Amino acid sequence: MITSKLRLRKDFAPLTVAVSILCKTPGSPMTQVYRAKTNTFEPNRTLTPSVFAPLVRANANDGSVPYPYGNEMLASMKWLVNGVDITTLPDWQGLYSIDVSGTNTRGEITISRNINPNTRVELTFTGVIVDKRLGANISITTDPIVLSTTDSSEDKYSLAMTDDQVIQYDPFKDKLLLYDYKVAHGLIQASDETRNLAIDGNSYKRSFQVTLYKGPSEYTGGDYTLKLYHVKGLNNLEEVTADISNEVDSITNTSISLDIRLIEKEDYVAIAYVGDKEVARKQFTVARLYPVFRWRHTNSTSIAPTDKERYDVAMVDCNGNIVDCPANIIKMVWMTDSAKITGQVKNEGGTTLFMLSSTGIGDTYADGWLDTYADVAQKPAYSVATDEAGNCLVDETGNQLIFN
């Protein structure tokens, strides 16, 4: 009779695996040089491609693996560009090939794409080693290598501005704003000399010089253009030009002039172009300040039984100084409370004059009182006045009308 069978297997030691990436083309390595003057790459991978090999070393301490290099055992091979399978990237199509032979060159990638300056490409290989001895698959992933390009331009471009990169506007310190208010309300006569004296580093007319440098020297080429953009979000810029409908008074290649009365908070970036190519940029911010101020009555006298009306003037302190014409900057709504009527609005402005009979004040101890006060807040940034069709409104001389 035949006895029961006892199946015996060879007891193989597990594989010891080491993986890395090797550049097999010393004349076309991981790093290129870009020469802007001639618009060429060195080396040019379209002429001399770079070859990178996954170097797989698999061995076992029992001698069951005759050859330590195991590329021929690779399966499920993928090359990743910045973590993404290269076969799924449209801008890489036709610019690479992967060796799928059954030899020790299996898995090698040949790249004929030039990498643009300031672009970083991380190249990683993943795959599976098929261990037929144990009937097992071993996943492998190499450390990434970096493909990069150095820009060897002779000189770098840079933008310089004469103002701070954070421009803060405090309307309480703006002498030009005060001058305009006084002229508009007939408090003083218009004067070019007085107006010019009011223009300083705190005024709403903010002009600053912009200079493009190439290396240490100012760039004077005729193909230079400066453009200004609002920063609307990450990688989201909106070009803004000089126009009566916005805060930009003028933009030239050497200066930017803003009316910062119209800005609450805005982030800008100035970009310099030589030809159609961006060569430098400078970002800056304009923000309106809201400093602490103190409001109080000027008229604190009692009400006489024969009084018919009440007059008062607001007094405001800010930054340790009395604010001249505070209605220019602060919205002040005068109000009263009496025993009969509360929260009664009288008027808006720096002064108030109202009839006492309208307040509900009485003639007895219980109702013969009146609280006067104001609802006050600093005015926000100005807005451009427009009609129903969105057209900017102007005065008789063509100046835009604004309000806050």
Contacts of 217 (CB under 8 A, 6+ apart): none
Q: What is the pLDDT of residues 83-95, one digit of tens each?
A: 999 999 999 999 9
Residue 134 shares a structural domain with residue 163: no
Tokens of 141: 């992933």
pLDDT at 150: 81
Count of other CB atoms within 10 angstroms of residue 89: 14
pLDDT at 248: 92
Residue 214 shares a structural domain with residue 144: no
Average pLDDT of span 278-295: 92
Tell me, yes or no, whether 137 lies in a domain. yes
Tell me, yes or no, whether 400 lies in a domain. no
Average pLDDT of span 134-152: 83
Residue 21 shares a structural domain with residue 131: yes
Q: Check which CATH number belongs to the domain holding 200 and give it.
A: 2.60.40.10
Residue 207 shares a structural domain with residue 308: no
Q: What is the pLDDT of residues 207-254, one digit of tens each?
A: 989 999 988 889 988 899 999 999 987 778 999 998 877 899 999 999
pLDDT at 361: 94
**Phi, psi of 198, deg, nearest 5:** -80, -10
Tell me, yes or no, whether 388 lies in a domain. no
Average pLDDT of span 316-343: 94
pLDDT at 74: 85
Where in the sequence is the domain holding 354, given as residue range(s)?
Answer: 293-378
Residue 257 shares a structural domain with residue 210: yes
Tell me, yes or no, whether 184 lies in a domain. yes
Contact between residue 132 and residue 15 where contact means Cβ atoms under 8 Å apart: no
Strands 84-85, 74-81: pairing kind = antiparallel
Please give the residue that has the higher pLDDT: either 402 or 11.
Answer: 402
First to last CA, the chain: 110
Please give the residue that has the higher pLDDT: either 386 or 86.
Answer: 86
Tell me, yes or no, whether 260 lies in a domain. yes
Q: Check which CATH number belongs to the domain holding 60 and give it.
A: 2.60.40
Per-residue DSSP letter, 367: T
DSSP annotation string for 215-235:
TTEE---TTEEEEEEEEEETT
Tell me, yes or no, whether 1 lies in a domain. no
Dihedral sign for Cα 168, 171, 173, 177, please: positive
Final residue in a domain of this structure, among 254, 288, 322? 288
Residue 279 shares a structural domain with residue 300: no
pLDDT at 64: 64
Residue 55 shares a structural domain with residue 108: yes
pLDDT at 119: 82
Average pLDDT of span 18-28: 85
Residue 216 shares a structural domain with residue 133: no
pLDDT at 2: 67
Q: Which of 125-139, 201-215, 281-295, 313-327 has the lowest mean pLDDT?
A: 125-139
Tell me, yes or no, whether 5 lies in a domain. no
